[in-house]
Homo-oligomer: A and B are copies of this chain.
Amino acid sequence: MRESPLAAVQRRENDAEHSWHLAMMVVILAEYSDEPIDVGHTVELVLVHDLVEIYAGDTPLYDSAAGVDQREREVIAAGELFALLPNDQARRLRALWDEFEERITPEARFAKAMDRLQPLLLNWMARGGTWRTPGVTADDVRTRKAVIGDASNVLWETGRCLIDEGETRGWSRASSSQP
């Protein structure tokens, strides 16, 4: 289970649902990538990336403590997970995971952007969601989501509007209220 609340039912989403949503978003939103991307390859990147998160456990975006050993936990998980596969497939999936993590290719940057944009949409539809995590401000949300702009100016502009609206409506803690 992840932290994000779903839009249509009163529960949090699970990893399969999240992963499906990302894949679907790649198919629909690829045209907004600032650089041309291979849709199929980008879908593979989001699918494989999430496998490792399922195995390593979800790391809530606004939980700095859980973030400390995230990379370490995920590297171990990736090693164990891909070792379940025949060697050639293990190498292929590991290469996809590394590509996502390194964010050097346009496909990896877009995959990462979808992974950050999707919870933003869910939080907006839930009128807050994990934006209401204690101690989190709208500026924290902006900081964590800015990576969307590395893949798509249009989508980051849209995302920023939703964060702004969330702050105005009180769905996240106004940054100006900070001491």
Contact = CB atoms under 8 A, between A and B. Distances in A.
Interface of A: 14, 16-17, 19-21, 23-24, 27-28, 31, 38-44, 47-48, 51, 85, 89
Contact of A20 (B23, B28, B41): B23
A85 to B, nearest CB: 8
Copies in the complex: 2
Contact of A40 (B14, B16, B41, B48): B41
Nearest to A17: B16
Nearest to A9: B14
Contact of A47 (B14, B16, B27, B31): B27
Given A19-B20, A20-B23, A27-B44, 7 more contacts: A16-B17, A23-B47, A24-B47, A24-B51, A40-B43, A40-B44, A43-B44
A16 B27 contact: no
Contacts of A19: 20
B48 A44 contact: no
A28 B28 CA distance: 23
Which one of A19, A21, A51 has the highest number of Cβ atoms from chain B below 10 Å of its Cβ?
A19
A128 to B, nearest CB: 23
Contacts of A20: 16-17, 19-20, 23, 47
Nearest to A24: B47
Contacts of A43: 23, 40, 43-44, 47
